[in-house]
Amino acid sequence: MADIENNIPSAKPIICNDQNSLENLIQEIQPISLINNIQAQNIQVVNEEILENYDIFPRLFVSIILMIIVYPIIFLDLYYAYNDNSCVNEPFNGITIKIYLEVCSYLSITVTLVAFYFIWTVKANGDFNLYNKYPYLKVINIILTFFVFSWTITGLILFFNDNNKKCTKSVYNYLYASLLIKIISISFEVLKLFKTKK
């Protein structure tokens, strides 16, 4: 142990007596600080790459959940809109349940694609509120929420008139369940908008 301690060089103070030795010392130190800066930048790049790799899993999880929730309703809306002949083509004030289902489906597809775009392209950097980065999204969300709310009310009116008696049991059950889900979910969205305004 004593041998090891004797072999360790002791730190000696650097003494610069003249301008030339000071300049030589600065030239020796500059490459060291440059190397330290390069190492710090490399560590930062590696850390960003690690964060981006960890960032994939939450995005993938949200995308899968969104597909599980939205895609079955889109598929069934389109299926009944184009394959049912019992009641979806019966007009009520110029609108049919088929038109209602088509608008719901294509609007849901559009909103889902936009959601996927933001899920996979926007860098959160700790701030997951998109309204802070894109203020126009709040206006679009308000307009879209009130449109979907009014369109769901239209669907309820179309469904609960005399035409629903012509629907087959599977169409009737699907329309009843989907309208119930849609009116509950959009009502929560409308309530959330009014709470944020206060």
Output the pLDDT for position 74: 92
pLDDT of residue 63: 87
Give the distance from CA 5 to its chain's centroid: 59
pLDDT at residue 121, rounded to an integer:
79
Predicted pLDDT of residue 66: 87
In tens digits, what is the pLDDT along the chain, a chain of 198 residues? 445 445 544 544 555 555 555 555 555 555 555 555 555 555 554 445 544 555 678 888 888 998 898 899 999 999 999 998 888 888 888 888 999 999 999 999 998 998 888 888 776 555 556 666 777 888 888 888 889 999 999 998 888 887 677 888 888 899 999 999 988 988 888 888 777 655
Per-residue confidence (pLDDT) for residue 24, from 0 to 100 = 57
What are 14's two structure tokens? 């650097």
Residue 164 tokens, joined: 């629903």
Q: Which sign does the torsion angle of CA 110, 175, 164, 83 carry?
A: positive
What is the rounded CA–CA span in Å between residue 107 and residue 143? 13
Please provide residue 86's backbone torsions phi and psi, each rounded to the nearest 5 degrees.
-85, -50
pLDDT at 38: 54
The Cβ-side half-sphere exposure at 138, using a 13 Å CA radius, reads 12
| Domain limits, the chain | 70-197
